Amino acid sequence: MNVLESHSSCCDLLIRDHRETEALLQQIQIQIETGQDWAALQRLAQQLKDDLARHYACEEFALFPVLSQYRTMMLMEVEHDKLLSTEEDFYQALKSDPLDRAMVAQRFQQFEAQLKAHILEEEQGVFPYADRVLEPEESQMVGRKLAEVDTAIRCGRLAGTLHRPEPQWVFKAESLFETPKDRIRFNKCFEQDLTSLHHIVLPQGQRLKEHMSGQHQCLIVLEGAVQILNERSQLSLKAGQQVDIEPRLYISMEALEDSHLLLLKVWPKPHFLRQ
């Protein structure tokens, strides 16, 4: 059984890219070892750079968004960033004047090793995982999207270069714990895609009326104590304890003491939109 036959059709285009990349790496290695045609080496290096940019874009525009509904692909995106950095070191060595052949060989070896490890990780981890979790309609949708992105980049209708903003932090100066004692307060600390994080201030004796938990919820008591009730049971929680609440459960909550709560909400995994 060949490599392509061991994966679902949605990944075939990416696997073919991998085989072409490995062939290019071998050609570049031969040119570096012989040192006879550096102009040819430059052309091969540029081809590799363009092909990899297109490949990364296909993965991040077509495969990763669907697969991220099941497992985050952020670490693979981080690997792409690291590869682009190591790749740039190699290309800068090719531009050295006078040409430092030893540095070119060293930078290429570093880049080649990192890239081959990445290919292996995708073919032994990411692609088989896609085979297991994607439903047939999702797999077909990914295959179509990959082909569309690949064609658009090759035809110049879509830029093949990834532009990712630099990560940063946003500091919020207000203190969550400086609150009046006579009213309930909700603070949305964070919200992204299907997840949100909330800080709840629940003064003693205050009560949250019965409501349905629309998401998967994890409630952590930071300070104080609360009692959670539903029609069948009740549960008392004190500082340092937590409870996981499943969607569609009807609950109410009362503060036994002045309480600070941390609530993590995660929407149930959607059935991915069919096309």
Question: What type of residue is 103?
Answer: M
pLDDT digits (tens, 9 = 90+) for 65-83: 999 888 889 999 999 999 9
**Choices 1.10.357.10, 2.130.10.10, 3.40.50.10490, 1.20.120.520: CATH for 4-154:** 1.20.120.520
Angstrom CA distances, 103 to 47, 97, 98, 140, stand at 20, 12, 11, 44
Give SS3 for 96: coil
What pLDDT shows up at residue 12? 94
What pLDDT shows up at residue 267? 82
Domain boundaries, the chain: 4-154, 185-266
The torsion of the CA quartet 204, 208, 214, 217, rounded to 10 degrees, works out to: 10
Has this prediction a pTM greater than 0.75?
Answer: no
pLDDT digits (tens, 9 = 90+) for 8-64: 468 999 999 999 999 999 999 999 998 878 889 999 999 999 999 999 999 999 999
Angstrom CA distances, 21 to 44, 226, 229, stand at 11, 59, 59
Residue closest to 18 by CA, chosen among 109, 116, 89: 116
User: Which CATH fold topology does 185-266 show?
Assistant: Jelly Rolls (2.60.120)
